[in-house]
């Protein structure tokens, strides 16, 4: 029985670790790949020319671009529409070569390939002060969530242990960046947190049915900063306009599930412990009484 109690204790510790909120990642370095085939038109439709097309680092951090394509590319600050800026320019980076640049000032830096101008990307550089403010806001929201459990359509759950689901959705923004995406099973809400949306913009998001399910009629419900919003829908693709200063967009469906990996690990651990407990109990029952 001591073994069983110990196993349950380990399970409790494991569960806490598995669902504990992740701290802000180390943003001192980042890597971007110049994708295979990016020299051909088409990669811009899925933001897969530079992968990832958006990276976030701290002031003083360094970004390295790896050319894994078979053609030469450039990493040139600016945009195809507005031209080059003076921030950085790699020149031609041949296949297999690397270009690195250290960012010493906060801000958002757009860049593109001079040879293939449909290739665009962006680097968001956060100051230490804003990083500390974000971390403090996350801790404050976690404490508030403990006392406000069950609050509908709140934004605390996105920073209180729910894993970032950004990698499971394809998003495009015309203003700002997606900071992270969280799922709230209590009110079947997918919460998209925006950062730096200083102008009116549009969010285009392709929903993953493994993480959010539409209502019976195939539609969703959208809130922008807590207010019902007009949007267009084409299957699982939503186009959502938003105003400058928007920080959160909520997409409500019939079911939202969290990151599968965490659930799978917990269920597996519970199953193993249950099997051990049942086996131990069966063996005890078979021991003849003296």
Is the pLDDT reported for residue 181 higher than 50?
A: yes
Is the pLDDT reported for residue 2 higher than 50?
A: no
Tell me the mean pLDDT in the region 229-251.
94
CATH number at residue 88: 2.60.40.420
For residue 15, give its domain range: 2-19+260-286
The answer to whether 34 and 66 have CB atoms below 8 angstroms apart is yes
- Alpha carbons 22 and 2: distance in angstroms, whole number: 32
Question: What's the confidence (pLDDT) of residue 136?
Answer: 53
Question: What's the confidence (pLDDT) of residue 185?
Answer: 79
Question: What's the confidence (pLDDT) of residue 244?
Answer: 93
* Region at 129 (left for phi over 0; alpha for psi -120 to 50; beta for the rest): alpha
**192 and 206 within one domain:** yes
Is 191 within the bounds of a domain?
yes
Number of separate domains in the chain:
3
**122 and 104 within one domain:** yes
Is 15 within the bounds of a domain?
yes
CATH number at residue 233: 2.60.40
- Per residue in 118-145, pLDDT (tens digit) is 999 999 998 755 555 555 555 545 554 4
Tell me the mean pLDDT in the region 17-40.
72
**250 and 194 within one domain:** yes
Question: In 3D, which of 152, 218, 148 has the Cα closest to residue 191?
Answer: 152
**114 and 190 within one domain:** no
Tell me the mean pLDDT in the region 170-181.
88
pLDDT band, residue 153 (cuts 50/70/90): very low
Is 28 within the bounds of a domain?
no
Question: What's the confidence (pLDDT) of residue 128?
Answer: 59
- Per residue in 69-121, pLDDT (tens digit) is 999 999 999 999 999 999 999 999 999 999 999 999 999 999 999 999 999 99
Tell me the mean pLDDT in the region 238-266.
77
**95 and 69 within one domain:** yes
**174 and 116 within one domain:** no
Output the pTM of the full model: 0.41
Q: Output the average pLDDT for the chain.
A: 78
The residue from 102, 128, 154 where one domain ends is 128
Q: Which of 176-180, 221-225, 271-275 has the largest mean confidence?
A: 221-225
Task: Report DSSP state, residue 218.
Answer: S
């Amino acid at each position: 029985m001591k073994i069983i109690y110990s196993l349950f204790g380990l399970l409790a510790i494991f569960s806490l670790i598995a669902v504990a909120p992740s701290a802000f990642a180390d943003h001192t370095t980042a890597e971007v790949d110049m994708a295979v085939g990016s020299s051909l038109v088409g990669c811009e439709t899925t933001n897969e020319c530079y992968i990832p097309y958006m990276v976030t680092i701290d002031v003083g951090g360094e970004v390295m671009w790896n050319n894994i394509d078979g053609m030469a590319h450039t990493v040139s600050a600016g945009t195809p529409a507005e031209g080059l800026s003076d921030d950085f320019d790699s020149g031609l980076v041949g296949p297999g070569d690397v270009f690195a640049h250290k960012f010493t000032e906060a801000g958002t830096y757009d860049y593109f390939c001079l040879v293939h101008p449909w290739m665009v990307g962006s680097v968001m550089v956060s100051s230490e002060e804003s990083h500390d403010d974000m971390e403090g806001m996350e801790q404050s929201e976690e404490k508030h969530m403990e006392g406000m459990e069950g609050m509908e359509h709140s934004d605390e759950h996105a920073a209180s242990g729910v894993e970032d689901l950004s990698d499971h959705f394809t998003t495009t923004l015309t203003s700002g960046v997606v900071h992270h995406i969280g799922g709230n099973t209590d009110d079947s809400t997918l919460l998209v947190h925006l950062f730096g949306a200083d102008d009116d913009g549009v969010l285009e998001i392709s929903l993953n049915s493994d993480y959010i399910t539409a209502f019976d009629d195939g539609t969703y419900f959208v809130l922008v900063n807590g207010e019902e919003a007009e949007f267009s829908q084409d299957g699982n693709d939503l186009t959502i306009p938003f105003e400058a200063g928007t920080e959160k967009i909520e997409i409500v469906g019939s079911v939202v599930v969290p990151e599968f990996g965490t659930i799978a690990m917990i269920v597996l651990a519970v199953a193993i412990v249950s099997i051990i407990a049942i086996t131990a109990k069966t063996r005890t029952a078979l021991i003849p009484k003296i």
